[in-house]
Amino acid sequence: MTLFLDVNTLSTIVNKTGIPEFMKGLLSYMEQDFKQWLTFDKSARTAAHSKEGVIELMPIANDEIFSFKYVNGHPKNPTKGLSTVMAFGALSEVDSGFPKLVSELTLSTAFRTGVTSIMAAKALARPSSRIMGIIGCGAQCEFQAIAFHTLLGINEIRIFDIDPEAMSKVAGHLAHYPELKLIQSLSAKDCVQGADIITSITADKTNATIITPEMIEPGMHINGVGGDCPGKTEIHANVLTSGKIFVEHEPQTREEGDIQQLAADHPVHPLWRVISGFDIGRDSEQQVTIFDSVGFALEDFSTLRYLYDLATKLKLGEKIELMPTLESPKDLFSQTKLHHSVN
Ligand SMILES: NC(=O)c1ccc[n+]([C@@H]2O[C@H](COP(=O)([O-])OP(=O)(O)OC[C@H]3O[C@@H](n4cnc5c(N)ncnc54)[C@H](O)[C@@H]3O)[C@@H](O)[C@H]2O)c1
């Protein structure tokens, strides 16, 4: 039988575990998998682009487990009552191809993106970082904010969005964290002034310049999350060239990340090597570090693996007969008769 997790079950899992504990657990799975980077069969995701957005498939495997995620990105979806980013995915045994898990990944992607940002910031930001500016207050925002507050010691967050309602929504949710000082900024510039970390997480299918050179101060860490598709960027090219850039799977980031604006041979550094302790992250307190996040299949692999283990431990989720259970595996045709109702 295949374990199925819908979004309501995921919400139960998160509530039973507690948000910080849930993210902490996911972070340890992700760091463990990034340290095994070379053992994975990796590829850039395949993408079906259209005028309004993109639909992508993200497969990855090691010797034991295969996983994939289906995810879209349609920045105008909120005007139609739909989320910009929606996802689901599956985890299979490599030996048999049998799917062990089919899961929602919309809510999970927001957690995994928050946790990926933490994994990078832990490795790259100054350890003394306490103030973060977040530009973009959509669906992903709170997950980033809570991850940085509860797992990285960020105690002041400034937020900015061109949509005031989105800012109020975030302020409402983050009011449940009394030790977090939250400031609603009047502009992107105000939001990031004096910040140790900048997170840019807007959605617009265009080459936007959300982070511009005059906003940058020595020692900042930039967590660029929203520039994740060809023709969809957030960070000005001169900001990119002024810092040390870190990437997930380089061939994918060269096409999709903010670095698509740079020459194909502009130096970038693999994040997994820093996480594995092979390379250092920042070279000095003054250096600007940039995580050009686009979202890589390995982060979803870790998430699906974590969800499977956690749901099994908590005895949550539904066992479904996604694949036929056959008395004789060669007799698939018998399945055509089993469920016929008799009048
Ligand atoms: N790198 C990753 O792994 C990853 C994962 C998930 C989502 N994303 C990307 O993150 C972005 C945000 O996702 P979401 O689900 O929160 O989208 P969303 O549509 O819910 O929210 C986006 C927000 O950005 C705001 N915005 C747009 N232009 C802006 C500007 N110029 N200045 C300030 N705010 C602006 C919008 O008003 C909106 O509130 C998307 O681009 C998505 O593709 C990346």
Residue-wise pLDDT for 63-80, tens only, equals 999 999 999 999 999 999
Rounded to an integer, what distance in angstroms lies between the CA atom of residue 233 and that of residue 222?
A: 14
pLDDT category of residue 337 using cuts at 50, 70 and 90: confident
Ligand 1 pocket, mutate which of 106, 140, 255, 294 (most atoms under 8 A from CB): 140
Nearest CA to 232 among 248, 254, 208? 208
Residues 234, 220, 125, 129, Cα dihedral to 10°:
-120
Active site annotation includes 279: no
- The 3-state DSSP class for residue 286 equals coil
Instruction: Place 339 in a pLDDT band, splitting at 50, 70 and 90.
Output: low
- The mean pLDDT value of the chain amounts to 97
Q: Per-residue pLDDT for 158 more than 70?
A: yes
Largest CA distance in the chain: 78
User: d(Cα 41, Cα 112) in Å, to the nearest integer?
Assistant: 20
CA proximity to 253, closest of 293, 211, 223: 293
Q: Which amino acid is present at 251?
A: P
Q: What is the pLDDT of residues 128-148, one digit of tens each?
A: 999 999 999 999 999 999 999
Q: What residue owns the CA closest to ligand 1's atom 24?
A: 202
Question: pTM of the entire structure?
Answer: 0.97
Q: Is 302 exposed, middle or buried (0-12, 13-18, 19+ CB in 10 A)?
A: buried
Q: Among 56, 77, 79, 85, say which to mutate for ligand 1: greatest number of ligand atoms within 8 Å of CB.
A: 85
Among residues 82, 96, 78, 34, the alpha carbon closest in space to that of 60 is found at 34
Q: Find out whether the beta carbon of 298 lies less than 6 Å from any atom of ligand 1.
A: no
pLDDT tens-digit readout, 255-313: 999 999 999 999 999 999 999 999 999 999 999 999 999 999 999 999 999 999 999 99
Residue closest to 132 by CA, chosen among 110, 112, 152, 109: 152
Q: 140: CA distance to ligand 1 center in Å? A: 7
Reply yes or no on whether the pLDDT at 247 is more than 70: yes
Mean per-residue pLDDT for 115-124? Answer: 98
**Over 60: is that where the pLDDT of 27 sits?**
yes
pLDDT value at position 340?
A: 52
Please list, in sequence order, all residues whose beta carbon lies within 8 angstroms of the beta carbon of residue 278, skipping any fewer than 6 positions away: none
pLDDT on residue 205 = 87
Return the DSSP state at 213: G
Q: Ligand 1 atom 29: the closest Cα is on which residue?
A: 202
Q: Which two tokens stand for residue 316?
A: 């949550």
